């Protein structure tokens, strides 16, 4: 059920990343709220990986801003999910390639979230 799925997601967040959980929880439609949760979790994971490489200053704040946009415009959830999946897959697929490709990934992400 939604409650147990939501609790699992919150428990899986990196320490201190519950900043927008209350906002997500207030979304009336539980399926939509869970979509938000998954999108935010995945974006956070991607950005943490980028931070580990020293490639994304303020990356978690970018994930926060992106989720805030989703909360303000529920109609954008489907598009956002496709975007984060495509971006995450692209980033991780280039993990073993030259660092120049990561700079390209960061630029692409910044432009998409502007």
| pLDDT score at 69 | 73
Per-domain residue ranges for the chain?
2-113
Mean local confidence (pLDDT), 42-51: 66
Mean local confidence (pLDDT), 21-46: 67
| pLDDT score at 46 | 66
User: What DSSP designation does 15 have?
Assistant: T
pLDDT at 20 over 60: no
Mean pLDDT of all residues in the chain?
62
pLDDT at 18 over 60: no
Q: Give one DSSP letter per residue of 39-104, joined into a string.
A: HHHHHHHHHHHHHHTT--TTHHHHHHHHHHHHHH-GGGHHHHHHHHHHHHHHHHHTTTS-HHHHHH
Q: How far apart are CA 67 and CA 70, in angstroms?
A: 5
| pLDDT score at 35 | 72
What is the pTM assigned to this prediction? Answer: 0.41
Confidence of residue 85 (pLDDT cuts 50, 70, 90): low
| pLDDT score at 56 | 54
CA-closest candidate to residue 72, choices 20, 8, 14: 20
């Amino acid at each position: 059920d939604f409650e147990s799925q939501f609790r699992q997601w919150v428990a899986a967040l990196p320490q201190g990343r519950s900043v927008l959980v209350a906002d997500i929880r207030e979304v009336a439609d539980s399926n939509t709220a869970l979509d938000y949760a998954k999108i935010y979790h995945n974006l956070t994971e991607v950005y943490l990986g980028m931070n580990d490489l020293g490639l994304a200053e303020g990356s978690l704040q970018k994930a926060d801003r992106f989720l805030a946009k989703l909360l303000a415009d529920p109609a954008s959830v489907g598009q956002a999910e496709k975007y984060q999946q495509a971006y995450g897959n692209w980033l991780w697929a280039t993990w073993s390639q030259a660092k120049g490709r990561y700079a390209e990934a960061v630029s692409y992400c910044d432009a998409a979230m502007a």
